[in-house]
Amino acid sequence: MFSKILIANRGEIALRIMRACKELGISTVAIHSTADSDAMHVKLADESVCVGPPAAAESYLNIPQILAACEITGADAVHPGYGFLSENARFAEILQAHGVAFIGPTAEHISVMGDKIEAKKTAERLGIPVVPGSDGAVLNDNDGRRIAREIGYPVLVKAAAGGGGRGMKVARSADEIDDALATARAEALAAFGNDALYIEKYLGEPRHIEVQVLGDGKGGAIHLGERDCSLQRRHQKIWEEAPSPALNAQQRARIGDVVVKAMQGLGYAGAGTVEFLYENGEFYFIEMNTRLQVEHPVTEMVTGIDLVNEQIRIASGSPLTFAQEDITLEGCAIECRINAENPRTFMPSPGKISYYHPPGGLGVRVDSGVYQGYVIPPYYDSLIGKLIVHGRSRVETMMRLRRCLDEFVVDGIQTTIPLFRELVDNQDIANGMYSIRWLEDFLATA
């Protein structure tokens, strides 16, 4: 087992990872920018190293500085959290070359899943159902037109280097395909320096359902059920829940089984998430995330399993703590992302938290990196915390969530809490009847 872990992240996720380290008896090193000297993750770590100025490119993404911090402190492993360097294959490789373990999958698996065309080919080869579409990259505009005609309109043009919705264009008919290809290609080149495109049948109103997996890197893998992350705005999830209100036990077992077999075939190591669009009772693979995700706590609440603890054990070469038959899903968990933003416009709202009172009680978890008197810097993601509520049924969880939102006080800045107070009282949300389009429609009309 590792003796000292450097956490290459900030905010609530850095705290989350430190808690797992502490329970394993592992000492912790925080890194921080000059803007984060007063951040909670620095206060809670055993040691801390300043790695650069406020801009993430020069601090939290600064590989030479992070390597130096490992060397200075004698850290034997790095946990990257989410975002920043978490899906950077080169970072994983460089660490290993310097004798520091990367707490995550192999650089090879990060790299394969980072290329959405490679990821889709790999998924298909491993028996995962994919969205009907081009067989690999579109060669040129002629090829694109032919493929779109064969798939049948509407189609979606996607960037191989994309993800998170960037470089995507819908073509509703043959009239729109040339424009979609040209625009997507230009956007992909500008954003990623890679203009490779692929085409898929466009699904109109799917749900976003993702399956959590753990692999031991030796052909062993288990799944921990799914999360429904359909409630999002501009590809930013705001509400996630487990289990999905749209699935029954048979559907869950079927997709879980497919994903586990694929991860066993891949020899996947660590925590991963296989993302699907779900429409008319069918699952279609879109992407795989090779990191711990923001919304991992809802899975922890319904399974009772500490995913970060498992990640650390796996990276140190230990076997999985659980077999598939040990995994049972208990009740329902919902996560609300508390962002320092205007709850209507989503404009960032950094500044001083003049008063802070988080909710508590049975089935309540608040993962946050802030405290009363803390000044939220303007340089980073606006996520300041997550409210995760667990109950025996979805109805109980919703009642508890409403109570927690009433109890939660964050003064001095704007937050998304008032939006969640609306959602928890909405009939569609109460019924679990929502697709990936629901929130944007709601915001446009409410």
Q: Which is nearer to ligand MV4, 132 or 351 (CB)?
A: 132
- By beta-carbon proximity to ligand MV4, the closer residue of 155 and 413 is 155
Query: Is residue 200 at the binding interface for ligand MV4, with CB under 6 A as the rule?
Result: yes
Orientation angle between helical segments 63-73 and 89-97, nearest 10 degrees: 30
**Are 334 and 391 contacting, i.e. CB atoms less than 8 angstroms apart?**
no
Paired with 29 in beta bridges are: 6, 47
- 408: nearest Cα among 328, 353, 346, 347: 353
| Among the listed residues 33, 232, 273, 339, the single contact to ligand MV4 using CB under 6 A | 232
Sequence length of the chain is 446
Q: Is 148 in the site for ligand MV4 (CB under 6 A)?
A: no
CB of 300 to ligand MV4, least distance (A): 22
For ligand MV4, which is the closer residue by CB, 24 or 443?
443
Selecting among 10, 227, 252, 291, the annotated active-site residue is 291
Phi, psi at 177, each rounded to 5°: -70, -40
Backbone angles phi, psi at 73, to 5 degrees: -95, -15
Question: According to CB under 6 A, which one of 208, 223, 252, 313 is a site residue for ligand MV4?
Answer: 208
> CB under 6 A: which stretch of 27-35, 157-165, 177-185, 256-264 binds ligand MV4?
157-165
Minimum CB distance to ligand MV4, residue 235 (Å): 6
Q: Does 227 bind ligand MV4 (CB under 6 A)?
A: no
* Stretch of 199-207, 262-270, 292-300, 354-362 contacting ligand MV4, by CB under 6 A: 199-207
**What distance in Å separates the CA atoms of residue 288 and residue 123, rounded to the nearest whole number?**
9
Q: How big is the site for ligand MV4, counted in residues (CB under 6 A)? A: 16
Q: Is 16 in the site for ligand MV4 (CB under 6 A)?
A: no
Measured CA distances, 369 to 9, 350, 385 (Å): 12, 14, 6
Query: 3-class DSSP state for residue 71?
Result: helix
If binding is defined by CB under 6 A, does position 163 make contact with ligand MV4? yes
- State yes or no: residue 337 binds ligand MV4 (CB under 6 A): no
Q: Of 113, 88, 382, give the one whose Cα is nearest residue 233.
A: 382
Q: Among residues 43, 98, 235, 352, which is the contact residue for ligand MV4, using CB under 6 A?
A: 235
Coil vs helix vs strand at 130: strand
Interface with ligand MV4, residue 28, by CB under 6 A = no
On the CB side of 363, CA atoms within 13 Å amount to 22
| Residue 203 binds ligand MV4 (CB under 6 A) | yes
Is residue 156 within the footprint of ligand MV4 (CB under 6 A)? yes
Among 138-146, 159-167, 309-317, 420-428, which window interacts with ligand MV4 (CB under 6 A)?
159-167
* Residues whose CB falls within 8 Å of the CB of residue 117, separated by 6 or more in sequence, listed in order: 136, 137, 160, 196, 198
> Per CB under 6 A, which of residues 244..283 are in contact with ligand MV4?
277
131 near ligand MV4, judged by CB under 6 A? yes
Shortest Å distance, C-beta 325 to ligand MV4: 31
Judged by CB under 6 A, the stretch of 26-34, 176-184, 195-203, 366-374 that binds ligand MV4 is 195-203
- Judge contact between 393 and 309, C-beta under 8 A: no
Of 286, 302, 333, 424, the one binding ligand MV4 by CB under 6 A: 286
165 forms part of the interface with ligand MV4 (CB under 6 A): yes
Q: Shortest gap between Cβ of 286 and ligand MV4 (angstroms)?
A: 5
Choose the stretch contacting ligand MV4; rule: CB under 6 A; options: 21-29, 31-39, 198-206, 219-227. Answer: 198-206
Find the helix or strand (DSSP H, E) in which 30 lies: strand 27-33
152 lies in the site for ligand MV4, by CB under 6 A = no
Per CB under 6 A, 435 contacts ligand MV4: no
> What's the Rg (C-alpha) of the chain?
22
228 part of the interface to ligand MV4, by CB under 6 A: no
Closest to 129 in 3D by CA, of 327, 322, 286: 286
Q: How far is residue 164's CA from residue 314's CA, in Å, rounded to a whole number?
A: 28
Nearer to ligand MV4, 40 or 131 (CB): 131
- Cβ partners under 8 Å of residue 417, min gap 6: 336, 338, 343, 405, 408, 410
Under rule CB under 6 A, residue 436 binds ligand MV4: yes
252 is catalytic: no
Q: Is there binding between residue 352 and ligand MV4 (CB under 6 A)? A: no
Instruction: State yes or no: residue 241 binds ligand MV4 (CB under 6 A).
Output: no
Residue 374 token pair: 């803390």
DSSP 396-414: HHHHHHHHHHHH-EEESS-
Report how far residue 284's alpha carbon sits from residue 208's, in angstroms, rounded to the nearest whole number: 10
| Residues labelled as active-site residues | 291
Residues in contact with ligand MV4 by CB under 6 A are: 131, 156, 163-165, 200-203, 208, 232, 235, 277, 286-287, 436
